[in-house]
Chain A
Amino acid sequence: MTMTTLTKNHPSSHAFRIQIQDLSLSYSDGKEPLQGINLNIPEKCISVLFGPAGGGKSTLLRTLNRLNDLADVSSISGHVWIDGVDILSPGIDVIALRRKVAMVFARPVVLPMSMRENLTYGLKLAGKRDPRELDQIVMDSLKAAALWEEVHDRLDEPAIALSGGQQQRLCLARALALKPEIILLDEPTSGLDPISTGKVEASLQDLKQEYTIILVPHSIQQAARTADFAAFFLDGRIVETGPGETLFTRPREQKTQDYVEGRFG
C-alpha cells in the first residue's frame, strides 16, 4: 500500500469540480437507483465509485453527462453543479456538456467505421474540419490512450478489426479526442485481459494530471489500485467517502469494511 500511496494525489489539496446535492432519480419501471446522493468530486484525481452491482454508480455517471436523457427516467430531483453550473437545469447546452464530460463504457463500442473516423466523429460534429488539426488530435489522443504504437500504420482500417483491449483503448482515445475536462469511465476494463487492463490503468495515471477522472472499477482490487478519492455506493446511497488509502484500509463504516474485505458482493 505504501508504494501506491506515494503516487497518489491527495484529494483534499484539490478544488471540487463537481458538486452533487440531494440527487435522487427513479426510472419509470419503479427502480430508484439514486436516493439522495451528496458527493463532491475533486479535480485532477481519479475518483472511484465502488460497491455492489445495482448500487447506482452507472446511473450517477450517466447523469453527469445527461446521457440519462436517453433512458426512461420518470423523476429526477436535486442538483449537480459542474464548475458552478447546474447541469440538470433545463436551459443548459447538453451537447456542450457532453463534449466537456466524456464517457467510456463497459463494453468497447466502436462505431462501424475506420479507427480514424471513430476518433474524428465527435470533432467533425463540433465543426472541426482542418485535416492537419484532426491528424494531430488523432495522434495525441491515441498516444494518451497507449494505442498509437500498435495502430499508427493502419488507422483507416475498420475499428472492429482491433482486439477487445485495443478497442477499449480506442474508445478511451475517442473520448480524449473531444478534449474534455472530465472523463467518466464505467467499468472500462471489465472485458479486458490483465495486460490490457494494466495499460488502461497506466494511461489513467498519466491522464489524471490533466483531467478529472471518475471511474467505476470492475473489481475492488482495481478500486484500491487506482483511487485517489473513493465513494462507497450501496443500494442507491453513499455509505462513506474519503481518500482512497483510508477507505480501503481503515474505513469508518462497518458496511464498507465488510465489502472491502469481501464479506458480501
Chain B
Amino acid sequence: MHARKVDLSIMRRNRNTTQTIGFSTLTLLTLVTIIPILVVIGYIYIQGMPAVSLSFLTEMPRDGMRAGGILPAIIGTLLLTLGTALFSVPLGIGAAIYLAEYAPDNRWTRVIRIAIINLAGIPSVVYGLFGLGLFVLFLQFGTSILAGSLTLSIMTLPVIISTTEEALRAVPNDFRVVSTALGATKWETIRKIVLPQSLPGILTGVILGLERAAGETAPILFTVAAFFLPQLPDSIFDATMALPYHLFVISTQVPGMPVQIQYGTAVVLLTFVLLMNISATIIRSRARARRQW
C-alpha cells in the first residue's frame, strides 16, 4: 500500500516535469522565432530612421542617388501596387467565386485548383521572365508600368484566389440553404449573404497578396523597373523606379553609397508593407468580433 502511493507520486511528478519541459521548450522555440524578426526590424529602423525626413520622401535622387530623396521609387511602388490590384482583385475574386460557389467538383476543377496551388509556389524570378516574354516583348508593352503590373498580378492571383475561396467556404452552408428556401437565386444568395459575410476574409487575402507584390524585386526586374530615372512616369507605358529594386541597386550597384540612405530606403519599404499587414490584421480582428456566426 505504502509502496504504491510512492509510485503514484513519482508518476505525477514525472508528468508535471514533462509538462514543464514541454511548455518551456515551446516558449523557447517561439522566442527563437520572434527575436530575430524583432532584431532585424529594430536594427533597420535604428539605422534608417535618421535618414528619413520629409525631403527624403518628396525629393528626386541627386548625385547618382547618393543624395536627395527617393520619391520616384515611392511613387513607382504605389503605382505598381495599384495597377496590380486593378487586375488581380476582380479577376481573383471572380475566379474564387466560380470555384467556391459554382464549379462542380470534377477532374477539370481539380486540375484548376492544383494549378493554382502550384502557381503560388513558382519562384518569382520565373514570373519576371514570363512577364518579359509575354508582356514586354510579345505584346510589345515595353518595359512599362503596365507590363510590371500585369506580371505582379499573375504572381498575386493564386494568393487572392485561394484566400478568397477559403473565405467564401467559411460561410456556413446553412445560410445558403436558408436563403435559397426563402426564394433567393444562387447569385442573390452570393451577393446578399455570402460575399458580405466573407468580405473581411477576402480583404485580408487581397492585402496580403498585394503586400507581397509591393515588396517583390524579381518580377519587376525585367518588366518595369528602372535603374535610375529621376522623373515621375507620365503614362502606364513608362518605366519607373520602385522601392525593392531601388534598394537592391543602391545596396550593391552604386559605389560610395551612404549607408543611411540604404537603411532609410529599407525603412520606407518596410513601413509600407507593415502598414498593409497591420491593416489586414485589424480588419480581420474587427470582423471576427462583429461576426454573427
Contacts and interface: CB of A to CB of B under 8 A. Distances in A.
B197 interface: yes
Given A111-B193, A112-B197, A158-B292, A103 B181 contact: yes
A160 B182 contact: no
14 contacts: A67-B177, A67-B181, A95-B185, A98-B181, A98-B183, A102-B182, A105-B174, A105-B177, A109-B175, A111-B193, A112-B293, A121-B184, A122-B182, A125-B183
Contacts of B179: 111, 121
Interface string A101-142: 011010101011100000001100110000000000000000
Which of A67, A111, A122, A171 has the most chain B CB atoms inside 10 A of its CB?
A: A111
B59 interface: no
Given A112-B175, A122-B182, A125-B182, 20 more contacts: A67-B180, A67-B181, A70-B180, A95-B184, A96-B183, A98-B181, A105-B174, A105-B177, A107-B174, A109-B172, A109-B174, A109-B175, A109-B177, A109-B178, A111-B179, A122-B183, A125-B184, A125-B192, A174-B182, A178-B183
Interface string B172-216: 101111111111110010001100010000000000000000000
A215 B162 CA distance: 41
B291 interface: yes
A112 B182 contact: no
Chain B contact residues: over half helix, strand or loop, or mixed? Answer: helix
Task: Give the interface residue-count category, chain B.
Answer: 20 to 34
A99 interface: yes
A253 B180 CA distance: 38
Contacts of A158: 292
Contacts of A109: 172, 174-175, 177-178
Nearest to A96: B183
A105 B178 contact: yes
A59 interface: no
Contacts of A174: 182
Interface of A: 65, 67, 70, 95-96, 98-99, 102-103, 105, 107, 109, 111-113, 121-122, 125-126, 158-160, 171, 174-175, 178
B186 to A, nearest CB: 9
Contacts of A105: 174, 177-178, 181
Nearest to B172: A109
A95 B293 contact: no
Contact of B291 (A96, A112, A121, A178): A112
A99 B193 contact: no
Contacts of A159: 292
Contact of A160 (B178, B180, B197, B293): B293
Nearest to A160: B292
Nearest to A100: B183
A10 to B, nearest CB: 30
A96 B177 CA distance: 16
Nearest to A113: B292
Contacts of A107: 174
Contacts of B172: 109
A70 B197 contact: no
Contact of B188 (A67, A125, A175): A125
A121 B189 CA distance: 11
Q: Which 7 A-B pairs have the closest CB atoms?
A: A122-B182, A112-B292, A109-B174, A160-B292, A103-B181, A99-B183, A98-B183
A96 B184 CA distance: 10
Contacts of B185: 95
B175 A65 contact: no
A41 to B, nearest CB: 18
A175 B181 CA distance: 9
A154 to B, nearest CB: 15
Nearest to B174: A109
Interface string B157-181: 0000000000000001011111111
Contacts of B180: 67, 70, 98
Nearest to B175: A111
A175 B179 CA distance: 11
